[in-house]
Each structure stands twice: as structure tokens, then as C-alpha cells.
Amino acid sequence: MSIVFFIYLCTSMRILIVNTSERTGGAAVAANRLMEALNNNGVKTKMLVRDKLSDHLTVCPLPRSWRLQWHFLWERLCIWLHLHLKCEHLFEIDIANCGTDITNLQEFKEADIIHLHWVNQGMLSLKDIRKILDSGKPVVWTMHDIWPATAICHLTLDCRQFETGCHHCRLLPGGGSAHDLAARTWERKQRMLDNRKISFVTCSQWLCSEARKSALLRGQRIETIPNPIDTRLYRLGSQQHARQQLGLPREGRIILFVSQRATNPNKGMQYLVEACQQLGKEHPDWSDTVSVAILGGHADEVASQLPFTTYPLGYVNDEHRIVSVYQAADVFVLPSLSENLPNTIMEAMACGVPCVGFRVGGIPEEIDHKDTGYVAEYRDAADLARGLYYVLVEADYAALQHNCIQKVARCWSQQSVARQYINLYEQQ
């Protein structure tokens, strides 16, 4: 592509990013960062959301209506009934049976390309998505989890039904049946995609590989582009200054754990507890020199489980304060049981913090083993402990820091990711 055509393309193209929330959840964070990256690289981009929380002019809310809340409640009610009035799995399932038709909105009409992100919980129904596809506008859909390639779930775990066709769903009472809610939703998704094309984008090579195995997406374009990060904000800073701001100990080493909800079993807190208990037994002096900081909701509920002094920082939405939390840490640990390409690892590395996580999902694509951190064997608390010890004691820490910052600049900078998306948009 010539530089002249590239500049013309950027200044003339209009993108509408569609996501349920403006700020809540990893997909919202990634969608916001992409919007900023595209705008900073000359592409006129707006974001359409159901839940707007800021006064940013580039973020547009759906027209206010009682129907917005009703769409969410109706879908949950339908799922609850299929769960035989039980709340287990209530928020692990999405069926997209109701939502808002956005094709008549001015933001939609002005856009050249519609870029879907996480559109669940009453934002868009399958019927609404089909109407978007039938409008004739090119559609790009960034997958933040596997839901677009399955019937009703966001995490497949050990289930491989999506490779042939979802039914007998593990999330439904009694393991479902041949004609259960999953099977019927699968058929609705098939009708939505019938003779229609979407350019699917996954944030990790792992999710790309999984999506290509889906019988639902057979024949669709699927490729990988990572999420971007603003390296002007997430950067190496003074650890002492950050700790002073946060009221954390000036001396000693700090292990950091971050999750929107610290009690979420999928984030693996139980493995961090077990790893720290092992380290405490093997190195008794760590009780005086090592502490744990937990950033996220319900942090105080898990603090007492850890053998080291623990600082529950709670839920924080001030991005500058979040950066300070990363800058205060010596190592970031994310023992998740399932992940795509977690923003938290990217954020920590951008701040020069080596990371430790399990070999699952896209985590090994972010952490280069013993180069930017440590990749522990899946669900192995003992290896997780070895990873923490490696980063804090054995490794050349300055080299790890340098490698983290260099990888972020090379792979996830705004300019790098924006250029990849612009190339994709140009091919639509």
C-alpha cells in the first residue's frame, strides 16, 4: 500500500465499534484502547455502547429506553427458566434472543465499517446482527472469547461439541439433550451466518486456532490481531513513589494479583494461595520480606487465605492509580484456568513487571518463558511457586524488565495494532 493511499484511507474511513459496556470488563478496555489507537492514527472511530460511563464525545450510548434494561432481564429470565430456576451458570450463558436494532442510528449510517466486540447481555440479538450483515456494510468482529464460535458458552473448557455442533450442553441441567437450548441457539446462529460473511479477529493465536475448529464458522475469515496498549500511560515508573502513594511497604518484594473479581474461581486464586504456602514453608524469612497486593473486587474476602502480609486494594477504575499499582509490584501473577490474551499481563509488562502464569490460552504468547517471566505448567501450584521464586530470586531481574518493555513496544503498541486493523479494513 503506498503511503499516499494509506493516508487517504485513514482520513476518509469511518469505523463504528460496538460493545455492550464502555468500561466494564476486559473487552470494554480493549475496545476503548483500539478506538483511541485508531483515532491517534488518523482513522475516524466512534464507539456505540449500551452502558456509557464517561462524557467522551467519541462514545455514543444507545437511545435511552426502558427496553434496554428489559432486554437484559428478559434474556436472563429465559436462561433461568432453562436452568430449572437455578442461578448456577446463569451468567455463563448467553443466547442473544433480544437486543437493539442499531441500523437506523445516525452513527451506524455514517460508518463505513461496523466493528463488533463483546455484544452480549441484551446489547444485540442474533436477529440484530443478521440485520447489520444484511445492511451491506462490511462487518469485523473481534472475539474476546469463544462465544461467537459456540452456541451459548463463553468458555469451552474440556467441551469440544462446537467442532461439530453444540448440544448436550454441560451448562444445562442433566447435561442437556440433543435438542436443548444450546442446539436451538446453534441453529439460530447458523441461520444468522447463512450466506453472510464476517471477518473474525481473535486477540490470540490460541483463540484463532480454536475458532477455526468451529463448525459454525466454517468458511469465515479468521485471523489474529492483538489488543493495543498506550505505552505513554503504562510505562516504567518509580517503584518507591508508587508504593508511597498506595500505602504499600517501601521495603521488600510485592507479588501482585489483579482481577475484576478476586473471588472468580477461573482466575485461580486457590493456586496462588497454595503456591505462596509452599514458598512460605520453604523460605520462612519471606514472611518478613514478601507481601501480596490484590487489586479487584472482593479482595478482602481472599486476603486472609494467604500466608504473607496481604494488601487488598479493592476495585479501582482510575487508570492512573492502576498504573501505580503495577509500578509498585515486583512480579505479577495470573494463575487463570482459561484466558484469551489478558490485558493485565500486557499492562504489567508495559510497566516493566515480569509475569508468571499458567500455560493456557494466550498466556504463553504474552509471557516468553524465562525471558519476560515464567510460564508454569497448567494447574500446577508447585510450578507456579517455582516461577515466583525464579523471577524474585534467580533471574537477572533487570534483563527481565528490559525484555518486557521491549516486547510491549514491538507487539502491542497503538501504532503497531492500528496498522494491522487498518490493513484489515482496507481489504473489506
Residue 10: per-residue pLDDT: 52
Residue 340: per-residue pLDDT: 87
pLDDT tens-digit map of 263-288: 999 999 999 999 999 999 999 999 99
Joined grid coordinates for residue 277? 504456602
C-alpha angle with apex 113: 112 to 119, nearest 5 degrees?
140
Maximal CA-CA distance, the chain: 65
Are 151 and 169 in contact by the 8 Å Cβ rule? The answer is: yes
Given a cut of 80, is residue 1 above it in pLDDT? no
Residue 12: per-residue pLDDT: 76
Given a cut of 70, is residue 213 above it in pLDDT? yes
Beta strands in 57-145 (DSSP E): 59-61, 113-116, 139-143
Given a cut of 90, is residue 158 above it in pLDDT? no
Handedness of CA 106, 104, 129, 194 (dihedral sign): negative
Strands 59-61 and 44-51 come out as: parallel
Given a cut of 60, is residue 8 above it in pLDDT? no
pLDDT tens-digit map of 290-304: 999 999 999 999 999
Residue 267: per-residue pLDDT: 93
pLDDT tens-digit map of 117-136: 999 999 999 999 999 999 99
Nearest Cα neighbor of 362 from 195, 143, 178 is 143
Residue 153: per-residue pLDDT: 97
Given a cut of 60, is residue 41 above it in pLDDT? yes
Residue 9: per-residue pLDDT: 52
Residue in the structure block whose three cell numbers are 448440544: 167
How far is 320 from 102, CA to CA, in rounded Å? 34
3-class SS at 59? Answer: strand
Beta strands in 101-229 (DSSP E): 113-116, 139-143, 199-202, 221-224
Strands 373-376 and 355-358 come out as: parallel
